[in-house]
Structure 1
């Protein structure tokens, strides 16, 4: 099943036409609003280098789950 999504608001322009695999392998700086300096801070603090690693990071998953619980009230 083909899935499409508008990625203009979440990715830098250079990554908007990439495959999902390429996006997940891209550095976190490929996310719109994450600067090179911000990407370095994320790498240094959490050891996260790619968008895929960021999405699978246990701290981000836990924070997302807690926020969803709060929002579900």
Structure 2
């Protein structure tokens, strides 16, 4: 949906929600003991958080771009 542009905002919101849910379930770095494994899990957790933020940005900007295109 994101690549084709068909309801891009909906696809981006779905991927953001899935990414957040999967990250919270799979990467519970705060439950790990201090060390290399915890560091790697925390790094991956925040990387996926940034990915979800990117999907939210796509969802937010898609209707904005369409509204600006309609005015021009």
TM bracket, shorter-chain basis: under 0.3
Q: Larger RCO: Structure 1 or Structure 2 (Cα < 8 Å, ≥ 6 residues apart)?
A: 2
TM-score normalised according to structure 1 size? 0.25
TM-score normalised according to structure 2 size? 0.25
Answer with 1 or 2: which has the greater Rg: 2
Q: More helix per residue: 1 or 2?
A: 2
